[in-house]
Amino acid sequence: MRFKLFIFVLLSAAVLPLSLFAQVADINPYAGFYWPGNASLTPDAVGDFQNNQLLGVRAGYYITSGLEIGGNYSWSNHFQPKSTDFASALAGAAGLPQGKVRANIWEAELSYNFVRRGVFGYFVKPYVVVGAGGLTTRVGSNGTFVLNTRPVTTPSGNTVLVANDALHNNDTFFAFSYGAGAKAERLWGPMGAFGDIRGQALPNFFGRSFNWPELRAGLTFSWGERP
């Protein structure tokens, strides 16, 4: 799958011999949280999605003293509407399949790191970042989660609800992110810390724009000499 290949490239970039690059490389495991929202009370709505945690890793290397290129991968174990969402609850009540949905978010990143500043005796480096890639779903059970329904009239004259929009196993949506944060590098040998706030966007999620904020924080391990 595409996101598995992306993870391989991401990790490979972080561990390639530094002799190939005359710059600093870093890798950043992290945890985060996001608030998708997108509530609506119509039967064909995409849904009011669950707020949930993220677990992920970033890696990259500097091509100048401030400009860094790399990649990011994160995983969400609940990427589906809340149990109180009207549209998906209606689909569930109609007996339509709703397997558990997980999300794999993968993207290439470009960040610009500003000059380090002293804060409470530590050197902190602010940065801005943009990324582009995709969100790939993993759906348990029968591989389908019906998000919403549409009414259909049968030949006998009865009206029944059938699946309209649905998430399937390995569905992939274009995604991009943007944000800002700060790093405190090499606080304890090669290890430091970072945190950022981002906006995540799926511009064509079943014909709709789906956006949410994220908070992330984690460790940063850096090595090498910056150009």
pLDDT in the model for residue 2: 54
User: Quick one: DSSP state of residue 20?
Assistant: G
pLDDT in the model for residue 213: 96
- The string of DSSP codes covering 91-143 is HHHTT--B--EEEEEEEEEEEEE---EEETTEEEEEEEEEEEEEEEEEE-TTS
Cα separations (Å) of 130 from 86, 93, 141? 34, 41, 35
- The string of DSSP codes covering 45-61 is ----BPPEEEEEEEEEE
> For the chain, which residues make up each domain, given as ranges?
2-14+24-222
Location of structure tokens 């902190």: 124
pLDDT in the model for residue 183: 93
pLDDT in the model for residue 119: 60
Q: Which amino acid is at 5?
A: L
Spatial contact of 95 and 161, defined as CB atoms under 8 Å apart:
no
CATH architecture assignment, domain 2-14+24-222: Beta Barrel (2.40)
Cα separations (Å) of 115 from 27, 63, 121, 126, 127? 20, 15, 16, 8, 9
Residues β-bridged to residue 110: 69, 130
pLDDT tens, residue order, the chain (227 aa): 555 545 444 555 444 444 444 458 899 999 999 999 775 667 767 889 999 999 999 999 899 888 999 999 999 999 999 988 989 999 999 999 999 999 999 999 999 999 877 665 677 889 999 999 999 999 998 899 999 999 999 888 888 899 999 999 999 999 999 999 999 988 888 899 999 999 999 999 998 889 999 999 999 998 876 54
Global pTM value: 0.84
